[in-house]
């Protein structure tokens, strides 16, 4: 079991003996919110499963002030997700901010003091805790990232599980505390100045690229001519109208399309040349729109991507105080930590991050944690997730979007990665490798040793070969060849033999899918062996619900290609 501690702690004398809590009551305030009620019910449910104690649930009016009790309540002085837990021999108080802090406080108590682990949507580890003691004291925590998105379909499909993982971006359900009113900073030119509305009459509103006005709507395009005054006014008016209609939103994206066809007209290019980066004209545009938004919605932030050709900070243009900058690490190596000084591929991103940190106090991160070319190919990035998240924290990031396999449930170790990522974006100071081993040991149990050997070999192999895979790596980029493919396949065949029951075997089978993929795309197999491997691969993918082979390719389409 993990010894990770999330909560800040001020001790007091003594220990609470859980077995002596038989007559305790769970109490809530009167007129509580749906999330507070749900939090109390969740405490009752999971505490009972671990301790076999059936505590009664009621309100303050139902109990005497001298009754021993677990009080679950909100406190308006706390931030939205801030939690405070006080424990003594006759009283437990779990307090949190609204709308999510109370619920997160309950889950944190269950994890921290009872040892429950919410591993996957269908696997919660509940230890036998009929005889335990809890140190008395006051515990508190306030998550450093206010926007946290572990981008896996498991979270979006199962919002109750996402709440347990404290991912605050996937559901509006009131009992789960809803989602943060901050939105992902994303491509938005197509929304602000839609080509369908203005393209025919005003082609000059759109980017001049290779001597022609851009008309391509791919990637949320066309790009805009960001120095055109009419474009500035239209974009600002669209944003203001949207914010007026959606008053609870706390930020809005004013950001480039996902193409390299940015405007090269004389005015845009002059700004870019003066500032040493295409971000010169882009940020000037964002600032102008943000200035207009601020006059009507002063509390709203305006977010823009520092992505691809705009990642470099401009020489003199500075983001307005109401502008957010979201740095995107798509060019980085996914094997090594971003701040690894020996990884040349990551140095430019580190330099840009440092430069932005000097001129903006509202930095967000868009980080990449999968192989977009092939979701189920072995991907050795499990050693860099923790260092990367800590690097983001050290550089004053306030929001973190960890993009991964959001399309399906069977990407390579998607459940393990979700567990690690969601832990770390809640508290970056946790030991990522300890979290990894905890998950593997609890989820794969008797087969865990073979799976740990697979993980270690996969990463050691890529590091020994001096590789620097990106976000669209080939099999060779991650160190796969006939020899290594056979070896990793062998680890999972051993894991299947070690599985002591059908439940563990099913988990191992699901996790083994990438080793079949490695044999198919990098192994030295042909004839009957290849046909048999493909057949087994497809059967496993179908059994465990694989929907996408890659970001833009369905599993069904890929299977057809293989069978040809």
Mark 423-439 as b/e (b = at least 16 C-beta within 10 Å): bbbbbbebebeebbebb
Q: Identify whether 192 is part of a domain.
A: yes
Residues 196 and 78 in one domain: no
pLDDT tens, residue by residue, 152-166: 999 999 999 999 999
Residues 108 and 243 in one domain: no
Q: Which of 299, 328, 357 is the last residue of a domain?
A: 328
Say if CB 72 and CB 83 are below 8 A apart. Answer: no
Residue 110 belongs to domain with CATH number: 3.30.379.10
CA angle 150/304/316 to nearest 5° reads 135
Instruction: Walk across the sheet containing 56-59 and list its strands.
Output: 8-17, 133-141, 83-88, 91-96, 69-74, 25-28, 56-59
Alpha helices by DSSP H, listed for 260-368, are 266-275, 279-296, 344-359
* DSSP-assigned states of every residue in 6-70: -SEEEEEEEEEEGGG-TT-EEEE-SS--HHHHHHHHHHHHHHHHHH----EEEEGGGS-TTS-EE
CATH of the domain at 260: 3.20.20.80
3-state secondary structure (DSSP) of residue 216: coil
CB 145 within 8 A of CB 81: no
According to the model, what pLDDT value does residue 9 have? 73
Q: Is residue 436 part of a domain?
A: no
CA distances to 174, 306, 352, 405, 498 from 275, rounded to whole Å, are 46, 14, 14, 36, 60
Q: List the single range of 27-31, 186-190, 329-333, 482-486 with lowest mean pLDDT.
A: 27-31
Return the beta strands (E) in 426-533 as ranges: none
3-state secondary structure 448-477: HHHHHHHHHHHHHHHHHCCCCCCCCCCCHH
Please return the burial class of 472, using the count of CB atoms within 10 Å of its CB with bins 0-12, 13-18 and 19+. middle
DSSP, residue by residue, 391-410: HHHHTTEEEEEEE---S-S-
Q: Which residues pair with 301 in a beta bridge?
A: 251
Residues 135 and 199 in one domain: no
* Distance in angstroms (rounded) separating the CA atoms of residues 49 and 130: 10
Local confidence band at 6 (pLDDT 50, 70, 90 cut-offs): low
Q: Is 109 part of a structural domain of the chain?
A: yes
Read off the pLDDT of residues 275-312 as tens digits, 9 standing for 90 and up.
Answer: 999 999 999 999 999 999 999 999 999 999 999 999 99
* 217 located within any domain: yes
Q: Is residue 472 part of a domain?
A: yes
Mean pLDDT of 123-145: 93
Report percent pLDDT > 90 for the chain: 93
Long-range contacts of 459-465 (CB under 8 A, 24+ apart): 459/335, 459/380, 459/382, 459/383, 461/380, 462/335, 462/380, 463/335, 463/380
My answer on whether 202 and 296 are in the same domain is yes
- C-beta of residue 215 within 8 angstroms of C-beta of residue 225: no
Q: Are residues 70 and 120 in the same domain?
A: yes
Closest Cα partner for 423 from 408, 413, 438?
438
DSSP code of residue 523? S
Decide which of 302, 328, 354 is a domain's last residue: 328
Into how many domains does the chain fold? Answer: 3
Query: What is the predicted pLDDT for the residue at 104?
Result: 98
Q: Has residue 67 got a pLDDT over 90?
A: no
What is the tens place of the pLDDT at every residue in 36-60? 999 999 999 999 999 999 999 998 8
- Model confidence, pTM: 0.95
Q: Look up the domain containing 200 and give its range.
A: 182-328
User: In 3-state terms, the chain is what percent helix, strand and coil (to 5)?
Assistant: 45, 15, 40
Residues 189 and 298 in one domain: yes
Please provide residue 150's backbone torsions phi and psi, each rounded to the nearest 5 degrees: -90, 105
* Cβ-Cβ contacts under 8 Å for 280 (sequence gap 6 or more): 271, 272, 273, 274, 314, 315, 317
How far apart CA 522 and CA 475 sit, in angstroms, is: 6
Residues 321 and 192 in one domain: yes
Tell me, yes or no, whether 32 and 111 share the same domain: yes
376 domain residue, yes or no? no
Torsion of CA 557, 559, 561, 564, to 10 degrees: -140
Output phi, psi for 346, to 5 deg: -100, -5
Given this model, what pLDDT does residue 564 score?
Answer: 84
For range 501-528, the mean pLDDT: 97
113 and 186 share one domain: no
Q: Are residues 448 and 542 in the same domain?
A: yes
Identify the domain boundary among 328, 361, 383.
Answer: 328
Q: Are residues 247 and 322 in the same domain?
A: yes
pLDDT confidence band for 62 (50 / 70 / 90): confident
**Residue 497 in domain:** yes
Please report whether residue 388 resides in a domain.
no
pLDDT tens for each residue of 473-487: 999 999 999 999 999
pLDDT of residue 306: 98
Q: How confident is the model at residue 61 (pLDDT cuts 50, 70, 90)?
A: confident
Across 121-240, the runs of DSSP E, i.e. the strands, are 123-125, 133-141, 147-151, 208-209, 212-213
pLDDT per residue over 220-278, tens digit each? 999 999 999 999 999 999 999 999 999 999 999 999 999 999 999 999 999 999 999 99
- Answer yes or no: are the C-beta atoms of 136 and 85 closer than 8 Å: no
Contact 39, 71 (CB under 8 A): no
Of the pLDDT bands very low, low, confident and very high (cuts 50, 70, 90), residue 8 is: confident
Looking at the fold, whether 116 and 234 belong to one and the same domain comes out as no
């Amino acid at each position: 079991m993990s010894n990770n501690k999330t909560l800040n702690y001020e001790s007091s004398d003594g220990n609470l003996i859980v077995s002596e809590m038989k007559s305790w009551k769970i109490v809530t305030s009167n007129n509580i919110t749906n999330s507070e009620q749900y939090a109390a019910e969740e405490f009752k449910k999971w505490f009972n499963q671990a301790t076999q104690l059936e505590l009664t649930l009621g309100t303050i009016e139902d109990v005497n002030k001298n009754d021993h009790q677990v009080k679950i309540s909100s406190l308006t002085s706390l931030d939205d997700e801030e939690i405070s837990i006080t424990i003594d021999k006759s009283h437990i108080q779990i307090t949190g901010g609204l709308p999510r802090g109370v619920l997160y406080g309950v889950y944190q108590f269950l994890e921290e003091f009872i040892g429950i682990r919410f591993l996957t949507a269908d696997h919660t580890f509940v230890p036998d805790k009929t005889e335990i003691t809890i140190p008395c004291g006051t515990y508190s925590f306030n998550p450093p990232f206010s926007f946290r998105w572990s981008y896996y379909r498991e979270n979006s499909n199962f919002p109750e599980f996402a709440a347990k993982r404290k991912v605050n971006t996937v559901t509006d359900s009131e009992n789960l505390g809803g989602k943060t009113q901050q939105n992902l900073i994303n491509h938005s030119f197509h929304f602000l100045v839609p080509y369908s509305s203005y393209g025919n009459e005003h082609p000059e509103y759109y980017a001049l690229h290779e001597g022609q006005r851009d008309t391509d709507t791919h990637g949320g395009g066309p790009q805009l001519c960001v120095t055109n005054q009419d474009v500035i006014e239209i974009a600002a008016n669209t944003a203001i109208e949207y914010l007026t209609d959606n008053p609870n939103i706390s930020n809005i994206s004013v950001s480039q399309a996902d193409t390299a066809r940015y405007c090269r007209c004389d005015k845009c290019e002059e700004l870019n040349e003066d500032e040493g980066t295409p971000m010169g004209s882009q940020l000037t545009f964002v600032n102008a729109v943000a200035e207009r938004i601020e006059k009507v919605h002063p509390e709203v932030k305006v977010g823009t991507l520092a992505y691809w050709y705009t990642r470099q900070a401009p020489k003199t243009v500075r983001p307005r105080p109401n502008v957010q900058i979201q740095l995107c690490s798509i060019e980085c190596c996914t094997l090594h930590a971003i701040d690894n000084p020996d990884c040349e591929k990551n140095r430019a991103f580190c330099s840009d991050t440092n430069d932005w940190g000097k001129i903006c106090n509202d930095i967000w991160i868009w980080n990449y944690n999968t192989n977009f070319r092939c979701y189920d190919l072995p991907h050795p990035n499990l050693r860099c997730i923790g260092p990367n998240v800590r690097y983001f924290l050290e550089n004053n990031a306030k929001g973190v979007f960890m993009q991964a396999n959001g399309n399906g449930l069977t990407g390579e170790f998607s459940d393990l990665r979700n567990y690690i990522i969601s832990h770390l974006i809640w508290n970056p100071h946790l030991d990522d490798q300890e979290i990894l081993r905890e998950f593997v040991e609890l989820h794969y149990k008797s087969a865990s040793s073979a799976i740990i050997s697979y993980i270690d070999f996969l990463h050691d192999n890529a590091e020994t070969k001096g590789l620097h895979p990106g976000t669209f790596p080939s099999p060779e980029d991650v160190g796969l060849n006939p020899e290594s493919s056979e070896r990793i396949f062998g680890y999972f065949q051993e894991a299947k033999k070690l599985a002591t029951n059908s439940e563990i075997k099913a988990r191992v089978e699901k996790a083994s899918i990438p080793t079949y993929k490695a044999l198919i795309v990098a192994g030295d197999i042909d004839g009957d062996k290849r046909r048999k491997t493909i057949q087994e691969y497809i059967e496993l993918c179908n059994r465990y619900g694989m929907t996408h082979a890659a970001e833009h390719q369905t599993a069904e389409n890929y299977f057809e290609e293989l069978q040809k």
